[in-house]
A and B are shown apart, each in its own frame.
Chain A
Amino acid sequence: MPQQKQVNNGSPVGLDVGTSRIVTAHRVDDQFQYQTQLNAFVNLPYSKMTENVLAKENVPHSIQGSGIVVHGNESERFADLLSVETRRPMSRGVLNPDEPQSLTQIQKIIQSLIGPAKSKGQKLYFSVPAASPGAEDSITYHEASLRQIMTEFGYDVHSINEGLAVVYAELESSNYTGIGISCGGGLCNVCLAYLSVPVLSFSVNKGGDFIDTSAASATGDLINRIRITKEDSFHFNGYFADKTHQALSIYYEDMIQTLVASMKEAFLASRSLPKLSRPIPLVLSGGSTIPKGFRDRFEKALQASDFPIVLSEVRVASNPLESTAKGALVAALSEV
């Protein structure tokens, strides 16, 4: 697969730096355009022939010592071919502390997507997760590191809470009032916004990676292969004949129940919520919400929990993989 052509046209940029994927959003001729790279890389043994093939195919890569690092979308394919795991610059929503190349590789992936700023002061908003229990320091380090990378690219860099970005992307019709949830690879980020102002935000330490890792542990498969199975064929409310799908179903349910319980706890505990004059919408986004039936399963769990806020609707974002980047772009455009 050839490398995607950059669409950086000098206008503001929205960037979703997710555990699984990095997505950029630009506005071109009043249309939002997106580009995505897998936030992963894989090491290949060096050979001149491999290098030539990768160069010819425009596969993002770099030579490191005696090896070749393939990063972004193609890393998953190579990992599957070689039966190895991809390496991940991020874990649980932040830079992976166990990955020594995390900063180097994430820099390369971001560079392949947006390149340097086209003009001085070009605005860039990037998503950061809300803190999860005990992870406040890692958020600070994560945010500062990413800010530095993009500042070095010449951008005027700002961060935006991931859940709030979902609100900005999806809840214009309710005047940016409602609950935005991003169920990504590392975390589920939740934000309640009132008239665009984030009122309450938090993250839950379970996401797609939790499902993949747990299911892989139960079945003995590679995590990478579980992820591909999940994205290709998993759905809710069905009969699963194989162990992989059964395991995915169990751990998906675990993630949903944890998310709903955390939301109920958070909203009940908060005494500072504004008086809402009407039911508010809740929108789900992120790769983990894509399986067919996720919305229904989530809504059912929410109803069963006696959730304390009256909701007008529960829906999945129109483009779940892109809504965080879109929201970041909307925030950037609103500051121009």
Chain B
Amino acid sequence: MALRQRVREIEPNHYADWRAARISDPIEKLQYLHGAMTGRKSPVRRLFWRRLSLGAFVLITVSFLLPAPPAVSDASLVSHRQMFPETARKAPPQSFADVWLVEETDKEDVFSNGLRVDNRFSTPNQPRFYQVLDRKHGMTPSGDWHSQPVGIVYHTTESAIAPFDAQRNDALKRISKVTLDGLRDNRSYNFFIDRFGRVLRIVEETSAANHAGNSIWADETSAYLNLNSSFLGVAFEAQTGTDDFEPRINAAQVHAGRILTEMLRAKYKISSQNCVTHAQVSVNPSNMRIGYHTDWARGFPFAALGLDNNYNLPPASLSDFGFEYDGLFRRAIGPDFWKGIPLAEAQMAQDAAGKGSTYYAHKAALQDRYHRLYSALKLTGALEESNDATAKTSE
């Protein structure tokens, strides 16, 4: 039969696909895709050398852009940190497993804890290169640059999921492979854990993967903005449930996540409190709300991966940069509200009281500080999140 087809030429848009997968409301998703597919711009990548040349300039610029002392004085923040309960963010003594590399080939790395990392799909990306913010000195950017990861962000791929049974083995393998190809094309994560518990290296550990977007996390001493360079990205092949917002991973994936985490923590001396989920770190600077991405907003198996329950830690996005959250985010995290959120709010209130300021004035000052730092550090290219930033500014 001869057919009269209507054919429209169209370019693949992996970012829009990835971004849309994180929008739960069908109508909003369609609105987003209509916008993204009718007038999208290609992301612009800065060259590595340009970051270097800008680094020195930024150090000078930042000193001018930092907030005026009366708004959020370093002294008051320092004194207040001492008032805040020590248990809130202080890391317990860290111990690291004794894990070593047993064998290394182009195809596979074998580690002493049983971890096998498939290297066949490994690809380079932009080298890790980032500054940290000194929490004890008013979020001053560090003078030195870093190239070692200090944490791990866990993600879900939100890709197609077939029923996990032997009858669907071929489909499961095919979907994993196609998902892997897409993630590799986009340099999405450093590691991918498929549904059979296989650990595959996507972006080399020495390179930053495009996994975290606009994001914030902090440990006792330092804060990190936009974590692509400072944190490794580990993605589980999983999909967040549409009803309960809870991703489901199987025992093989949990085991793989555990031994991978164990290896990475041992290798880079990563503290447990810097092993967090994407939902915990993701922010939207355009509306100053947390939870722009909500993968692993609940249900992350911290204990099974040998980690402390980091949902109990106060997010620095709230406590140190004045971000807020909305009803959608509350819905995503569910009834087991992160204990860290009220802690962060209490810390904010104490900070405001200690300064003789109102809660809202203090929050506004912190937000202003974030914007100044963000603008300043963006000049380095360390905050380059072209895709995410483009999406947010258009929202």
Contacts and interface: CB of A to CB of B under 8 A. Distances in A.
Pairing of A with B: yes
Interface of A: 130-133, 136, 168, 172-177, 194-202, 204-205, 258, 261-262, 265-266, 269-270, 272, 274-279, 281, 310, 312-313, 330-331, 333-334
B37 interface: yes
B110 interface: no
Given A195-B33, A277-B14, A331-B30, A313 B6 contact: no
Interface stretch (B19-27, B75-83, B249-257, B364-372): B19-27
B10 A199 contact: yes
Given A201-B5, A261-B1, A312-B162, A278 B182 contact: yes
B8 A199 contact: yes
B230 interface: no
Nearest to B20: A175
Interface stretch (B87-95, B173-181, B286-294): B173-181
Contacts of B21: 175
Given A196-B34, A277-B181, A312 B171 contact: yes
B27 A330 contact: yes
A198 B2 CA distance: 20
B63 interface: no
A195 B1 contact: no
Nearest to B25: A172
Interface of B: 1-14, 16-17, 20-21, 26-27, 29-31, 33-34, 36-37, 159-160, 162, 171, 174-175, 178-179, 181-182, 185, 242
Contacts of A274: 10-12
12 contacts: A131-B4, A132-B4, A195-B36, A196-B33, A200-B8, A272-B8, A275-B12, A278-B160, A279-B171, A330-B26, A334-B30, A334-B31
A168 B181 CA distance: 26
Contacts of B1: 133, 204-205, 258, 261-262, 265
Nearest to B168: A313
A201 B29 CA distance: 22
B3 A262 contact: yes
A81 B33 CA distance: 50
A201 B17 contact: no
B307 to A, nearest CB: 30
A279 B174 CA distance: 8
B181 A198 contact: no
Given A262-B1, A275-B12, A330-B30, 7 more contacts: A172-B26, A176-B29, A199-B7, A272-B7, A277-B178, A278-B159, A333-B27
A173 B10 CA distance: 21
Contacts of B30: 168, 172, 176, 196, 330-331, 334
A278 B20 contact: no
A176 B28 CA distance: 12
Contacts of A262: 1, 3
A276 to B, nearest CB: 8
Given A312-B162, A330-B26, A334-B30, A277 B17 contact: yes
Contacts of B159: 278
Interface centre among B5, B175, B242 (most CB of A within 10 A): B5
B2 A133 contact: yes
Contacts of B178: 277-279, 310
A163 to B, nearest CB: 10
A198 B14 contact: no
Nearest to A171: B26
B7 A200 contact: yes
Contacts of A176: 20, 29-30, 33
A194 B5 contact: no
B175 A312 contact: yes
Q: Top 10 nearest A-B pairs by Cβ distance? A: A277-B182, A278-B178, A196-B33, A334-B30, A172-B26, A272-B9, A175-B20, A202-B5, A333-B27, A274-B12
Contacts of B12: 194, 274-277
A258 B2 CA distance: 11
B265 to A, nearest CB: 32
